[in-house]
Structures are given as C-alpha cells and as structure tokens.
Structure 1
Amino acid sequence: MNVTEHLPILQVVLPLASAPLAVLLRDRLAAFVLVLAATWAAFAISVLLWLQVGESGLISYAIGSWPPPWGIEYRVDALASLVLMLVSGIAAVVLPYSRASIEREIRPDKHYLFYAMFALCLSGLLGITVTGDAFNLFVFLEISSLSSYAMIALGKDRRSLVAAYQYLIMGTIGATFIVIGVGLLYIKTGTLNLADLGVRLQAMTSHRPVLAALAFLTVGISLKLAMFPLHQWLPNAYAYAPSAVSAFLAATATKVSVYALLRFYFSVFGETAVFQRLPMEDLMLVLALAGMFVASTVAIFQDNLKRLFAYSSVAQIGYSVLGISFDSVTGLTATIVHLVNHAVTKGGLFLLLGAVIAGMGGVTLARVQGVGRVMPLTSFGIVICGLSLIGVPGTAGFVSKWYLILAALEKGQWWLVFLIVLSSLLAVAYVWRFVEVAYFHAPRADLAGAREAPLALALPAWTLVAATLWFGVDTSLTVGSASRAAGQLLGIAP
C-alpha cells in the first residue's frame, strides 16, 4: 500500500483518533504526547500535500473507493493545501506552549480533556478544509465548534462559562442557517458534492431556492467567522478562554470560516449568483468597512488586553471580507494572504499575552504597567505583532494591506485607499495603549520582581513572531500560493 495516496484522509483521521485515546488514557502526560504526535504528523502531511499540489495540481481522494459525486470526496487544491498547512502549523506551535500555560489556567484533572478537545477541534478544522462534500463540511464545522465551546469553558475564570455559553448560542444559530442552506441546495440539485454542485448550479443562478440557500449560508458562515455585526460571541470567548485556546482559535477558527465562505461563493455558487443576482459586493463592502472602523474604535477603549486584541480580530476580519468584495484576483489574493498573515500575527500575540499572564498575573492595563521593564523580550514581541496589525512595512500585515490597496486601485476606488489607511491609524491608537503602559509607567510594587517568560512559553510565541517578520519580507510562500488559489477560484488559473 502506498501511504502517500492516503494523505488526505490521514490528515483528518490521525488527530481525530487521538482524541478518544487521550480520554481513555486519562493521564495528562500520555495524552499530551499522543496528541502532540498526531498534530505534528498532521502538519508534516499538510506540507507534503502542499508540495504535491504544487507539482501535479488538484488531488481528489474518494472515500471507500466510491467515485465522486456518488461517494464522499476529499479535494485538495492550492487554497485548501495552504489552509491545511496554516491550521496544522499553528496547532503544532500552540500545543507545546499549552503544556506549560494550562498548568496555571486549567485544573490538573482536566488537562487530558483539554488535549482531547484540542485534537477534536484540529480534526474538525482540517476536515472543513479538505472535504469536498457540503454536509460533511457542516459536520466538521460542528465538531470544531463543540470542542471549542468545551475548551473555552475549561478556564478557571467563571466568566469563561458565560463566554462559552454565548458562543454556543450564536454558533448553534449559525449552524442552523448553514444546514438549511445545504438542505436547499440538495433539494434543488440532488447532490452534496461541492464540485458537482458548482456544475449543476450554473443553470440555476436565478432560481429563488438557490438564492435563498446563498443567503442562509452567508449568514450562517458569517456568524462562525464573526463578521461584523455578527461578532458578539468573539470578544468574551477570546478574553476569558485559556491563553492557548485564545491563540489557537484566533489563528485558525475564523480563518477556516473565511475559507468556507470563499469555497461556497466561488467554487459552488459562482460569481454570477453571488455578485450579479444579489447585491453582495456592496453589502460586503459596507459590512467590512463597518467592522474595520467600529471594532477598532471599540478596541481603543478596552482595559483588558485580551479583549482589546479580540476586537482587533473583528476589525481584521473586516479586511478579509473587504478583499472578497472586490471580486478580483488581487482582492482574493489579499484575502488569502491576510488569512495567513493575521493568523501568525494574532497567534503570536495571544501566546505572548499568555506569557504576560504567567509573569504578571493578568493582562489588564493597570496590571501590566511597566511590563516592558520586567519582561522586555515579551513586550518587544507584542510591539512587533502590534506593528503588523497596523501594517508597518517589514511585517506581514503590511503585505496584506498593500494588496488590498492594489485591489482598490484596480477598481479606481481611491476613497477606499484612504479608508484603509485611516483604519490603520485606529490600530496605531490601540497598540499605543499597550506601549504607553508598558514603557512609560513603573511596574507595580507587588509585581516589580516579575521575570521574563520561561522558554516553554517564549519559544512557541517567538516562532510566530519570527514568522510575522519573515512573511513581511519573503512573500514567495504567502503571495505565491494565494495568487494561484485566487486564480483557481475565479476560473482564471488551471
């Protein structure tokens, strides 16, 4: 048997199988080693799949040897391979970090459950990305969501239970909209295969059930990706979850939801249904700009750094949606590049905030006064990630905003260029709030003896900080893969 032929299914099965085994072991060290091995294996597989797609193109894997569209198909193209590598790569970095961070944030008897939920969430996110079946996509979305609710609720702060409950309610509403949309598509076409749906819907773009399905899926996925104004679950979920969970979800969950939106819009419905039959271009433009400005403004007035950067995530999702609204290769390239760049930036940022919690006991602005003096490396890393959120040249965030500006110029929309730059100035304001308290105030007397983060926390965090700087200089991986993916989504590239 040639193992390389089965890489698409192994990508999902390995972390999925490790979850129940971790529960059966009921030992936190054994569970950690098992899930870590599955996570690193998934990352290695994703790299191999990305290389295979680059060499030979689309990979189609038929589950149980039933040919599509009769059986369930896993499909890996340029976009899917990039997102698979991003999700598994973030997981491979966050999981070693979590071993040290959850010692302080989760009760020891719950550690093995955390690792099991982490593995389930990872397998769900990978499944969403690799599946070529609409109903399977919904199932994997629920696997990742349910495990996310549990991980958020594991935090010691009682507010984490409320945050998990809010997320559950909003997520359930989103899931209901998605399954209704999938059901309408199945009734209309008789198939659930995404590629087959794309072919059959070409002649049905004006049919009302198809447009209703598009509307249901748009609202449902928008809830999952926290598009403004459907973002109410996100700030509390990120703020009160354990640090490792905040970092993992901020770097992966919303990114995979953007991927799902791209897949349905361009691979299933096509541009005609999305941007000609319905006024989605104008609607998404308005919602993107509202998210960019409103969420950034709210972030400025937050006193908890995790909530501050949670609202920043809502604003950054606005940039991704803005790229989609352009309906062009450059716009989609900007969206896909931003998925990667914001993932490494925000993942590194939340990992560093977890290190601050370990050293200072919290991340309120009052508590982290003078952190730049007692934890200089950690504070410097937060500043670097903040510069990336602003879009300073030399950081990953600059590349994303540069391609958004190019897409706006292609459309002749100079006013949008002005708004993109203006929204970045709001990011300067909320990043400056951290700089001010970290470097222009003396540490509190009871925290003056705080020390730099231990290596177990610092090394994973700085891995993502280094990626933030690297992707700001070398864009061959991010922009190269994103432009190929964008071309395929629009039917321009093979």
Structure 2
Amino acid sequence: MNEQLTILLVVIPLIAAPITALFKNKDIAWAITLLVSTACFVLSVIIMLDVIDGKHVIYELGGWRPPWGIEYKIDALNAFIALIVSGIATISSIYAKSSVEHEIDDSTIPLFYAAFQLCLLGLLGIALTGDVFNLFVFLEISSLSTYALISMGKHRKALTAAFSYLILGTVGATFFLIGVGFLFAASGSLNTADIAQRFETFAHMQLVETALIFMVLGIALKAAVFPLHSWLPNAYSQAPSAVSVFLSATATKVSIYALYRVLFDLYPVQYWVDMLMPQILLSLGCVAVIYGSYRAWQQVEMKRLLAFSSVAQIGYMIIGLALLNQNGLTASIMHLFNHAVIKATLFMGAGILLYRANTTDLGSLRGMGRDIPWSFAAMVIAGLSLIGVPGTVGFITKWYLLESAIETGQWIVVVTIVIGSVLAIGYVWKIVESLYFRSSRKVHIHAVESGDDSVGKTPIGMAVALWIGAGLCIFFGLNTDLSFDAATTAALSLLKQ
C-alpha cells in the first residue's frame, strides 16, 4: 500500500496547483493549499514510520522497471526530507493567510498559492526520485515557482532579488544538467542505483570525474554553499514573509539532500575522497560558519540578518558531511530538520513584526517586543535554539558535530563551532536588545485606512503557526528520538554500514 502513497506526494500538489489558479476567491485558494500541505504531511508521516527502521519502499512509474523506467526509492533519508518539506509547508500555510493578504494584491493571491503548491511539488519530487534526470526536472519545477514567489514581494527590490536568483539558479541548473549528460554518456543510464552498481566499468573515464565536478558545483549553488551564496540574502529578505518562512526551511535543505545522494549513492565515497573533496568541503563549511555569522551580526534589518545566519547554518551541514563518519553525518542530517524548524519560526516572527509595524528594520522596532510579549517569547526560544542552548533543537546538532570533530582530530572544526556559537549569541542578542531593552519609539505606519485597528493585533493563524514552531524547538530539543533515529538510520545507509 505504501508504494502507492509515495506517488501521491507528487500527484496531489500537481493536480491541485492548476485548480487553485482557476479560483478567484483567495479564501478557497488558501483552503486548498492548506489541505494539500496537510495531506502531504500525513502521507509523509506514514511513510517515515514505515522506513525509519531501515526498510525501503520502491515505486516504479508506469510499471517500467529501472533502469528503463523512473523509480521512486524511499528510505529513511528521503522520507525524512519529505517529512520536513511537507511539515513546514503545513505550518507555512497556516501562517500564510493573513500574511499573504497583507503583503500581496488580492487579485494575485490564487496564483501565489498555485506557485506555492508547485514549489512543494518540486521539492517533494527531488526528495523521492531515484533518477538523476528526474531530479533535475523537479529541481527546475521548484526553482521556477520560487522565482515567481520571490518576485511577489512588497517592494521593487523583490524583482531584482528574483532576477538575480533566476540568473544564478539557471547557471546552477545548467551545471547540474551538464554533469548528468556527461555521466549518462559514460554510463548509458540515469538510474542512481544502476549507475552505482556498474560504476567500476566506466570509472576510468575522464567524463565521470568531470560530471561529478559539474553536478557538485550546480547543487552547491542551489544550496547556497559558501562562496556560492550571494543570491540568498536578497532572496530571503525581499520575498513575502510566508515565502521566506517556507524557502528558508526547505529549499537549501533539499539541495543539501541532493548533494548527499550524488556523493554517497551515485559515486563511491573513495572516488571523491581521492579528489580531496572532503578537505575542500570542510574548509568551505568552516569559513561559511564564521563568515555567515559575522555578516549576520553586521545587519540592521532582521530578515537580512536571518538570511546571513542561514549561510552559517548551511556551513554546519557541510562540515558534518565532510567529516565522513557516523556522528558527523548524523549531525548534518539532523540539522536539516533542526534548522528548518528554527529558521521557519524566526522568519514567522519577522513576518509578524512586518505585519504589525510595516518594517523589519531593527532601529525602527525599538521596544516592539514589549508590545508583542508572546510572539517575542517564541522568537527568543527560536533564537536560543539557533545558538545551541541545551534543551533546544540546536544543541544536539552541535554536540554531535563536536564529538565527530574530536573523534577525527579536526580541532579547527571545534574552534569554528565555538566561534560560530559566540557570534550567534551576538546577533541573536542584537535582535533581543533592539526589540526589548532599547527605549520605545513611535513607529510610523503607512497605508492604513482610517479606523483600521488590524495592525494592532497579531492574527490568530500567524500566532498559532509561530508557537507551533517554538514548541517544536523545545519538544525536539528534549525528545530527540524521532529526528535522531531517522538521521542515524539515514547516515548508516549512506555510509553503507
């Protein structure tokens, strides 16, 4: 039965997106999106529980056996990714109703939700497919819809951010496709398992090494791995708040997942170890942690601060991958989930500030935290999680990364994690200080109709979604069984232990 459930994760948003675009009623469009996201989340939970012990679920499209047909092969790793994507999509949908109505013209809201569902479709498709060309197709579906979503931001800068991301995203996709073409020329196959099984027969070809370089560069650009991150700060800070919430928690995580698949499932580990790729990735990850944290500390606008923080957090994931042991890879995979929850919560908080004050500039929000004590408390919980305070989701990741670094004698990683955590304290405190400890100032709010008191209240949907995120930061910080078991099973599978 679960074999059929896997394809429904892609089919449901594929069918719903064009239907949503046909409706002119924004409430119906939102309701369909929430229903689609929730359905995908429920299906992801069912599949996750089925494979968390190491089992595989395989679905062959059209009954065609691989390598001739497209295969969906579900294990603990991609089920975990599907769970993250669909779960964040559900929270984002709850949050989106009031946020989207505040930031986007009513006439384009149904199209917004249709693009949101297409983005969900693309991200889930990347997670599920076992075919490298099919992965490229879903990568482009998610990217094209993302460009449209970002361009719907309130200010003209959103168009510039979307165009910049389009150019760089197209370069990344082109690099990845060139790599897929080279690998197909060498192997005669596009199925991941088939290529891996016959790898020794064509491993000597120069095309194979070139293909790996192109694919890794393409994915690294999509994942905003330092120094290929320049599109991310503008994209996250200029996008509508609901889009920032969804993309910051899912898009780069799915790209990191694609990197796992290429490096561990498509190619033998020893092949790219001989190319010194772990050392390169480890160096880039360490620089990303310090650079991203430092740039975040420099920012005076909250969404841009959180965007640079994401560059640093991606660095932690890359470090875990490059350490090439069970603890490191487990930490890297866990951080996909932990950072998704943390960053979604923080961007939801930023969206509430934008809704209430029409700005996310920290200088203009002095004392605002005292006006929204409950929302501010949720943001503080997420901020403590970002630092890695014990009892929050961020702690367990850094703990396992430190264990892995000490185990392998990588003391530079230990120093990097300590410096990154100290800088995280700095930029989280910058938010807390501005919102709570600085003297209040009168915020000038424009484009509000006379007698409209809506900006004086936080909509219930936005508040509920924010506290779901904050609750998850605590719950999965204290109860790590699900995330740790799934990450450990996935790490062992990748390492073939």
Distance 1:419 1:180 in 2: 34
Matched to 1:71, the amino acid is: G
Matched to 2:62, the amino acid is: G
8 Å CA contact 1:292–1:315 kept in 2: the answer is: yes
CA displacement at 1:442 relative to structure 2:
2.3
Match of 1:458 in 2: 463
- Where do 5+ consecutive residues of structure 2 fail to align? 446-452
Match of 2:287 in 1: 290
Match of 1:467 in 2: 472
Give 3-state SS (helix, strand or coil) of 2:480's partner.
coil
Matched to 1:388, the amino acid is: S
2:209 aligns with one of 197, 202, 211:
211
Matched to 1:293, the amino acid is: I
Matched to 1:464, the amino acid is: G
Residues 327-348 of structure 1, C-alpha deviation per residue, up to 9 Å, x if partnerless?
1111110100000000000011
1:35 aligns with one of 33, 36, 56:
33
CA displacement at 1:412 relative to structure 2:
1.8
Match of 1:103 in 2: 101
Give 3-state SS (helix, strand or coil) of 2:52's partner.
helix
RMSD in angstroms over aligned alpha carbons? 1.4
Match of 2:426 in 1: 429
**Equivalenced residues, count:** 489
Residues 393-452 of structure 1, C-alpha deviation per residue, up to 9 Å, x if partnerless?
111111111111011011022342122111110111111111111122122224699745
Residue 484 (structure 2) pairs with residue 486 (structure 1): no
Match of 1:367 in 2: 364
Distance 1:165 1:176 in 2: 16
Match of 1:281 in 2: 278
**Deviating runs (4+, > 3 A) in structure 1?**
202-206, 446-452
Matched to 2:474, the amino acid is: L
Distance 2:413 2:117 in 1: 41
CA displacement at 1:203 relative to structure 2:
4.2
Distance 1:196 1:63 in 2: 16
Matches within 5 A, 1:133-172: 133-172=131-170
Give 3-state SS (helix, strand or coil) of 1:477's partner.
helix
Residues 441-481 of structure 1, C-alpha deviation per residue, up to 9 Å, x if partnerless?
12222469974522111101110111111111111011111
Match of 2:324 in 1: 327
1:248 aligns with one of 222, 246, 249:
246
Match of 1:354 in 2: 351
Distance 1:470 1:310 in 2: 25
Give 3-state SS (helix, strand or coil) of 2:69's partner.
coil
Distance 1:435 1:479 in 2: 30
8 Å CA contact 2:53–2:489 kept in 1: the answer is: no
The change in CA–CA distance for 1:394 and 1:56 in structure 2 (over 3 A counts) is closer
CA displacement at 1:101 relative to structure 2:
0.3
Distance 2:423 2:61 in 1: 48
Give 3-state SS (helix, strand or coil) of 2:390's partner.
coil
Distance 1:171 1:69 in 2: 29
Matched to 2:389, the amino acid is: V
Matched to 1:439, the amino acid is: Y
- Where do 5+ consecutive residues of structure 1 fail to align? none
Distance 1:56 1:213 in 2: 30
The change in CA–CA distance for 1:55 and 1:391 in structure 2 (over 3 A counts) is closer
TM superposition score normalised by structure 1:
0.97
Give 3-state SS (helix, strand or coil) of 1:9's partner.
helix
**Range moving further from structure 2, 177-186 or 203-212:** 203-212
CA displacement at 1:55 relative to structure 2:
5.7
Distance 1:206 1:225 in 2: 29
Identity of aligned residues (%): 46
8 Å CA contact 1:225–1:254 kept in 2: the answer is: yes
Match of 1:18 in 2: 16
Give 3-state SS (helix, strand or coil) of 1:367's partner.
helix
